[in-house]
Amino acid sequence: MRKISADKIRANILELCSESEYGSWEFWSTKRSKTEVEGRLIVQVISELVKEKKIYPMEYESVADQTYKPVRLDISRLKNEIKRSIKPYNVNPHKCYWFLATDEEKEDLRLRRDTK
């Protein structure tokens, strides 16, 4: 059985969310199923990243225009969305959170990549 750490989840989420809001869904809407433990870790990590102002939650303002609006993070809602996402392709992206890295975090990630 594979084990995934909170640090690895954090790194993956930050990397994907720094690319675009769509990146956040690449992480937990994959073909492979996730365990409940991974789901709980994802909720924990996302919550921490939002509190640290590394990422921020959004939802569709207009599906037709594909525009988003920032929203407040509701942990109960996030838990429900992550729980549904444990089964691949079991999430309606038009009604769920999307996440994007803050400009400061994007710059920080870019600088870290440049020093490697």
pTM greater than 0.75 (yes/no): yes
Task: Extract long-range pairs of 67-70: CB within 8 Å, 24+ residues apart.
Answer: 68/21, 68/98, 68/100
pLDDT of residue 53: 94
CB atoms closer than 10 angstroms to residue 73: 16
pLDDT of residue 2: 55
Q: What is the pLDDT of residues 90-107, one digit of tens each?
A: 777 778 888 988 888 777
Q: How many CA atoms lie within 13 A of 56 on its CB side?
A: 12
Q: What is the pLDDT of residues 20-67, one digit of tens each?
A: 777 766 665 665 667 888 889 999 999 999 999 999 999 888 767 778
Tokens at residue 87, please?
A: 């089964």
pLDDT of residue 1: 43
**Whole-number CA gyration radius for the chain:** 14
Tokens at residue 12, please?
A: 């993956």
Residue 11 placed within a domain: yes
Q: Which residue's structure tokens are 């037709």?
A: 64
Range of the domain at 60: 6-110
Domain count, the chain: 1
Higher-confidence residue of 19 and 97: namely 97
